Amino acid sequence: MQAIDGYTRTCGLIGNPVEHTLSPVIHNTLAELTGQKLCYVPFHVETGRLEDAVKGAYALNLLGLNVTVPYKSEVIPFLKEIDPLAQKIGAVNTLVRMEGGYKGYNTDMPGLYRAMCADGVKIEGERVLILGAGGVARAVAVLLAEKGANEIILMNRTVEKAKKVAGEVNGYAGRELVKAMANEDYGKLPQDRKYLVIQATSVGLHPHDEDVVIEDEAFYERIHTGYDLIFNPPQTKFMKLVQAHGGRAFNGAKMLLYQGVIAYEYWTNTQITEEQAQTVFEAMQRKD
């Protein structure tokens, strides 16, 4: 552990709750690995105090902040600037100090992309199903559109919600790339195709380990690779079903890792190596 003195810069996490976060493990380990005089602390921000928290952080000379639920969209009005990708996604998870305030970025989706690359999962030219139509699913659809997916289908219990999100993302993409489908209609998918499937809901999150969006095992025959954005439990029922039917399956732990790595790179203007990232990943697993 580095000595903390008057030269130590502070970064942190704002959210509600923040008590179980792994972010301090990520950033304090990175600080040790890179020799930066930096300390990372979680800050529990009560409902209605977000603007105070952002202004207070700036007044206290905090170098940067991560933002977690429920404030990823709420924080936007209190920023000096916002990065175009974060603007498209409509959510910010990283604040970088600049003259007069903070600039907002979304490192969740670049983090997911870096994680998928590290796991050998490609997006370009792929046919992709996204389970869910909430904020995370919308962000994933934006990422897939930007990275050259060939086809994107948003699958949701409420098809109208999926249609709304699909329309928004198609507006950004400038073409009819994203389609909507009700979960129960998966049987209408072409029989001869297999898909990359990204599980972007909270279904299956601990302690509901045995829950899954689509129960029917026939659905999992259609999946060559399953990516569950949940990382607790490490092996979700979705992942087990994908693997049982011959597909590869990954969880969201590396997305969490890389969103943190990218935020750290923004704050410190450093480039984290894959070896350093792996060291941090091992520290996260020990902590978890």
The CATH number of domain 110-251, selected from 3.40.1690.10, 3.40.50.150, 3.40.50.720, 1.10.3860.10: 3.40.50.720
Domain ranges of the chain: 9-106+254-287, 110-251
Residue 255 has φ and ψ, to the nearest 5°, of: -60, -45
User: 201, 150, 219: which is closest to 179 by C-alpha?
Assistant: 150
Instruction: For domain 9-106+254-287, give the CATH number.
Output: 3.40.50.10860
Q: Could you give the CA distance from residue 16 to residue 94 in angstroms, rounded to a whole number?
A: 16
User: 55, 53, 28, 25: which is closest to 39 by C-alpha?
Assistant: 28
Amino acid 2: pLDDT: 75
Average pLDDT over residues 254-283: 97
- 110-152, pLDDT tens digit by residue? 999 999 999 999 999 999 999 999 999 999 999 999 999 999 9
Is residue 279 predicted with pLDDT exceeding 80? yes
Would you place residue 1 in the very low, low, confident or very high pLDDT band (cuts 50, 70, 90)?
low
Size of the chain, expressed as the number of residues it contains: 288
Query: 9-106+254-287 and 110-251 share one CATH topology?
Result: yes
User: 121, 15, 26, 32: which is closest to 75 by C-alpha?
Assistant: 15
pTM: 0.94
Task: Tell whether the torsion through CA atoms of 165, 225, 91 and 74 is positive or negative.
Answer: positive
SS3 category, 138: helix
- 169-178, pLDDT tens digit by residue? 999 999 999 9
Share of the chain above pLDDT 90, in %: 97
Q: How far is CA 83 from CA 75, 76, 259, in A?
A: 13, 11, 15
Strands (E), the chain: 9-15, 38-44, 64-67, 81-82, 94-98, 101-105, 127-131, 151-156, 178-182, 195-199, 223-228, 248-250
- 37-62, pLDDT tens digit by residue? 999 999 999 999 999 999 999 999 99
Q: Could you give the CA distance from residue 62 to residue 11 in angstroms, rounded to a whole number?
A: 6
Options 37, 55, 72, 287, the catalytic residue = 72
Type of residue found at 67: V
Q: Are 7 and 63 spatial neighbours (Cβ–Cβ below 8 Å)?
A: no
SS3 category, 240: helix
Please enumerate in sequence order all residues whose Cβ is within 8 A of that of 57, keeping only pairs 6 or more positions apart, or say none. 12, 14, 65, 95, 102
User: 30, 88, 112: which is closest to 64 by C-alpha?
Assistant: 30
- 287 labelled catalytic: no
- 192-234, pLDDT tens digit by residue? 999 999 999 999 999 999 999 999 999 999 999 999 999 999 9
Is residue 157 predicted with pLDDT exceeding 90? yes
Q: Could you give the CA distance from residue 276 to residue 162 in angstroms, rounded to a whole number?
A: 38
